Amino acid sequence: MQHTLKSLIHFHGVGLHGGQPVAMIVRPAPANHGIHFVRTDVSGKNNIIPALWNHVTDTKLCTVISNDDKVSVGTVEHLMAALHGCHIDNALIEINGPEVPIMDGSSLAFVHEIERVGLIKQDAPRHIIRILDDIIVRDGDKMVTLSPAPESTFSGEIDFNHPMIGRQNYQTEIVNGNFPHELAECRTFGFEKEVQYLRSIGLARGGSLNNAIVLGEDNVLNPQGLRRPDEFIRHKLLDAVGDLALAGARIQGRYHGVKAGHDMNNRILHALFANSGAWEWTTDNVIPLTPHLSTRNREMIRA
């Protein structure tokens, strides 16, 4: 069944890239409402932005969604991951600026507040996108796949030429409270040598050691260090959970990302919905069938 929040929750923070203070309220919403953002600082034009894959307009360093009036909100992925990971189907998000507050660079603050107020079960079945066949998107050495699986599973691999990262891989299922315990606290990360350049082009102005892991030449600059030895790949999967939550429904299948980011995550959704034979709508009132594992209707996109 679908779920929403028992009561509204408030957040205050700064935008990661603009560095401006922002206030946000996440409100309960009725069944079949989905997730929508409302820019309360915008008037005279449409200020409602659906949290959907076909409203993504930028994927440089974060995911930005926009409406037809070019009203946008960015860095939605950590909040979307928290809503999805905590099984919230319906919410109205009021925000007075162009970016979701970065908080500590993870989904942890959002998850804590969701767990504090709790959820309400709604009188409507949850919509599910069941993956029936493999979808593959490649771009050089990057790759994302969606494939049949009995649960919503996320796995990935990264490989950075840095002694604190190197090659990492991880897999988890978004069931039984796994997201809050396995991914939610894992923070975004960046490299000290890139900070000045990003700020020169108007990005990362709100970034600090309080809301990101910052890597020097051979070390982590944050005094408290890492929360997990493999925090980097876990954060990449946190991002993937948030980006794929923009599908508009829970995906029953396996996501696997190799050196993937926001752009590849959005491209896999475009590829999925372009291939009607590779997926089907169902609900959680239907007992899932074991998806077939053939390569029928395989779609491969090469950049």
Q: What is the pLDDT of residues 218-242, one digit of tens each?
A: 999 999 999 999 999 999 999 999 9
Instruction: Please tell me the predicted confidence (pLDDT) of residue 283.
Output: 93
Tokens (6 digits) for 295? 């390569």
| Cα distances (angstroms) measured from residue 90 to each of 12, 50, 172, 223, 232 | 21, 11, 24, 38, 29
Give 146-184 pLDDT, tens digit per residue.
999 999 999 999 999 999 999 999 999 999 889 999 999
CATH number at residue 33: 3.30.230.20
- Examine the residue annotation and report whether 10 is marked as an active-site residue of this protein: no
In this predicted structure, the answer to whether residue 284 has a pLDDT above a threshold of 50 is yes
Of the three residues 121, 137, 154, the one that is the final residue of a domain is 121
How many domains would you assign to the chain? 2
In this predicted structure, the answer to whether residue 292 has a pLDDT above a threshold of 70 is no
**pLDDT band at residue 61 under the 50/70/90 scheme:** confident
- Are residues 37 and 145 located together in one domain of the fold? no
* Three-state SS at 292: coil
8-state DSSP, 247:
G
The residue among 122 and 301 whose pLDDT is bigger is: 122
- Are residues 132 and 79 located together in one domain of the fold? no
In this predicted structure, the answer to whether residue 300 has a pLDDT above a threshold of 80 is no
User: Considering only CA atoms, which of 43, 155, 158, 37 is closest in space to residue 99?
Assistant: 37
- Are residues 57 and 71 located together in one domain of the fold? yes
Instruction: Please tell me the predicted confidence (pLDDT) of residue 202.
Output: 67
- Are residues 108 and 131 located together in one domain of the fold? no
**pLDDT band at residue 203 under the 50/70/90 scheme:** low
- Close Cβ partners of 114 (under 8 Å, ≥ 6 residues apart): 5, 9, 82, 83, 86, 88
Tokens (6 digits) for 4? 């929403």
Which structural domain, as residue segments, surrounds residue 111?
A: 3-121
Instruction: Please tell me the predicted confidence (pLDDT) of residue 41.
Output: 97
- Are residues 269 and 150 located together in one domain of the fold? yes
- Are residues 102 and 134 located together in one domain of the fold? no
Of the three residues 86, 121, 156, the one that is the final residue of a domain is 121
CATH number at residue 135: 3.30.1700.10
**pLDDT band at residue 141 under the 50/70/90 scheme:** very high
Strands 189-191 and 135-139: unpaired
% of the chain surpassing 70 pLDDT: 92
Residue of 112, 262, 270, 292 marked catalytic = 262
Instruction: Please tell me the predicted confidence (pLDDT) of residue 303.
Output: 34
Instruction: Please tell me the predicted confidence (pLDDT) of residue 115.
Output: 97
Query: What is the rounded CA–CA span in Å between residue 260 and residue 131?
Result: 20
- Are residues 245 and 155 located together in one domain of the fold? yes
Q: How many CB atoms lie within 10 A of CB 109?
A: 21
Give 26-57 pLDDT, tens digit per residue.
999 999 999 999 999 999 999 999 999 999 99
| Cα distances (angstroms) measured from residue 275 to each of 131, 210, 266, 271 | 11, 42, 15, 7
Q: Where are the alpha helices (DSSP H) in 26-122?
A: 77-85, 108-117
Give 79-132 pLDDT, tens digit per residue.
999 999 999 999 999 999 999 999 999 999 999 999 999 999 999 999 999 999
Of the three residues 121, 136, 170, the one that is the final residue of a domain is 121
